């Protein structure tokens, strides 16, 4: 059966997405120092709503203000004030003004919280992130009581967003954040009911899904973002991921987004990690594919029926249509291209063959210093600096509705760092 990008997608809960294209979650850093959505977020998501995607995913909405993924995250860690209710409602209205869905990505950064936010972040175990430079602190293991409280906070955030007009929620269990780190035997060295076997390591995630479902009811879409693998030796692997997807299907999840990597091995972000990547047992064609996670998703689709979303690397309409028609994906996620072309979904459905791709031209380390990239740490820093360029494009869109294609990576890096310091300073003064 031929499936086109413009075909609707029906979810198990009964909700229908207008088409097969989604704006993937990208961290915005545009909330107030108190974690309240701003007019800039409304402007940004209004542009994306006008851009034609069937569904928009928010960036990280954190359930603990002491565990931010970055300064400027939206935070829902308590019953919403009137100010927060109004801000969330305005954000949701702007983000759905074209009739599309808008889902809240709900997260806790765990040990990947930067030390300028929290020097001792909570984690499954006291296993420090293996990155140099002192950017991340010494984690402290969560108690069972604290885990149970966080389960409640995930559910509270989902219900708060539902009440504000969001049309779905995604639980973030990928990329090395808290729920993801519980799944990995490398970062989860607990000996209680939340550690050891895969069933125990997945207990926290499954409890979050169950509590969130009870809070929002059967008709509200609940999604989970899950690593296909961490790509680290001794980490969460593909066989583990496949089993977790089976459990999520039984738990009434409506969509699973397949991703991969952690801060130590940032596979999705196109950056190199500090260690050699642990390859997984998938088809050799994987390395040649435009979108890396397609083969992982195809292997999962052969074992489960829950709809799958694949994000990461898609640049041509042909590759997107091929993923849909082969059954590897039910929904295509677009990230970086929508930082520079907010109406990319609309243009693709109208016949655009390929999206702009500028990653290879964006680098902090100039060509004449290219020898430095022989060092893994320098290579990783260069990759993360490139990400800051996209951060700054989102900031420009939120401020004035326009991008700055001529922006240098160095200038973007400085701008993001300066803004982070201002937000943290204002936050600490309160």
| Alpha carbon separation from 105 to 27, 183, 225 (Å, rounded) | 10, 18, 9
Radius of gyration of the CA atoms of the chain, in A? 20
For the stretch 342-395, pLDDT in tens is 999 999 999 999 997 655 555 555 554 455 455 555 555 666 678 888 999 999
User: Would you put residue 239 in left (φ > 0), alpha (ψ -120 to 50) or beta?
Assistant: alpha
Average pLDDT across the chain, whole number: 88
Residue 237's pLDDT band, with cuts at 50, 70 and 90, is: confident
The residue ranking higher by pLDDT, 427 or 160, is 160
What pTM was estimated for this model as a whole?
0.90
Domains and CATH numbers, the chain: 9-356 (3.20.20.70)
What average pLDDT score do residues 395-416 get?
A: 91
What average pLDDT score do residues 127-135 get?
A: 76
- Tokens representing residue 11 in the block: 């979810």
Burial (CB < 10 A; 0-12, 13-18, 19+), residue 277, is middle
320 pLDDT above the threshold of 80: yes
232 pLDDT above the threshold of 70: no
Helix spans in 165-217 (H) = 178-183, 198-201, 203-216
The residue ranking higher by pLDDT, 84 or 411, is 84
| Lowest mean per-residue pLDDT among 260-269, 352-361, 392-401 | 260-269
pLDDT value for 299: 84
271 pLDDT above the threshold of 60: no
pLDDT value for 156: 98
249: phi then psi, degrees, rounded to nearest 5: -60, -45
pLDDT value for 2: 85
Residue 269's pLDDT band, with cuts at 50, 70 and 90, is: very low
pLDDT value for 294: 82
206 pLDDT above the threshold of 50: yes
| Alpha carbon separation from 40 to 14, 43, 47, 75, 395 (Å, rounded) | 32, 5, 11, 16, 8
Residue 42's pLDDT band, with cuts at 50, 70 and 90, is: very high
* 72 close to 37: Cβ distance less than 8 angstroms: no
Dist CA 144 CA 121 (whole Å): 16
């Amino acid at each position: 059966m031929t499936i086109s990008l413009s075909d609707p997608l029906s979810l198990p809960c009964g909700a229908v997405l207008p088409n097969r294209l989604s704006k993937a979650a990208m961290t915005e850093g545009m909330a107030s120092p108190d974690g309240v959505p701003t007019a800039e977020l409304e402007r940004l998501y209004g542009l994306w709503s006008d851009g034609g995607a069937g569904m928009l995913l928010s960036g990280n909405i954190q359930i603990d203000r002491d565990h931010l993924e970055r300064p400027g995250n939206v935070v829902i860690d308590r019953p919403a004030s009137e100010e927060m209710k109004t801000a969330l409602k305005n954000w949701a209205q702007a983000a759905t003004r074209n009739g599309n869905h808008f889902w809240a990505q709900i997260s806790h950064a765990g040990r990947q919280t930067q030390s300028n936010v929290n020097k001792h972040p909570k984690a499954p175990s006291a296993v420090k992130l293996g990155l140099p430079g002192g950017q991340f602190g010494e984690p402290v293991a969560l108690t069972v009581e604290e885990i149970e409280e966080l389960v409640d906070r995930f559910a509270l955030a989902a219900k708060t967003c539902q009440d504000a007009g969001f049309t779905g929620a995604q639980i973030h269990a990928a990329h090395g954040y808290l729920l993801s780190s519980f799944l990995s035997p490398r970062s989860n060295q607990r000996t209680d009911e939340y550690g050891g076997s895969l069933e125990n390591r997945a207990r926290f995630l499954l409890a979050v899904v169950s509590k969130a479902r009870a809070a929002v009811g059967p008709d509200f879409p609940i999604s989970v973002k899950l690593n296909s693998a961490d790509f680290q030796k001794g980490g969460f692997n593909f066989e583990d991921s496949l089993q977790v997807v089976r459990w999520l299907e039984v738990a009434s999840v409506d969509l699973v987004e397949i991703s991969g990597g952690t801060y130590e091995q940032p596979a999705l972000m196109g950056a190199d990690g500090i260690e050699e990547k642990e390859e997984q047992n998938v088809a050799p064609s994987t390395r040649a594919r435009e979108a890396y996670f397609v083969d992982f998703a195809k292997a999962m689709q052969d074992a489960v029926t829950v709809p799958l979303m694949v994000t990461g690397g898609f640049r041509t309409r042909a590759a997107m249509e091929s993923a849909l028609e082969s059954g590897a994906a039910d929904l295509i996620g677009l990230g970086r291209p929508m930082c520079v072309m907010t109406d990319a979904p609309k243009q693709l459905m109208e016949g655009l063959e390929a999206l702009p791709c500028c990653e290879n031209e964006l680098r902090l380390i100039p060509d004449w210093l290219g020898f430095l990239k022989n060092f893994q740490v320098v290579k990783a820093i260069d990759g993360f600096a490139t990400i800051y360029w996209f951060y700054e494009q989102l900031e420009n869109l939120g401020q004035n509705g326009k991008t700055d294609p001529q922006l240098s990576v160095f200038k973007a890096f400085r701008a993001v760092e300066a803004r982070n310091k201002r937000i943290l300073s204002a936050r600490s003064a309160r």
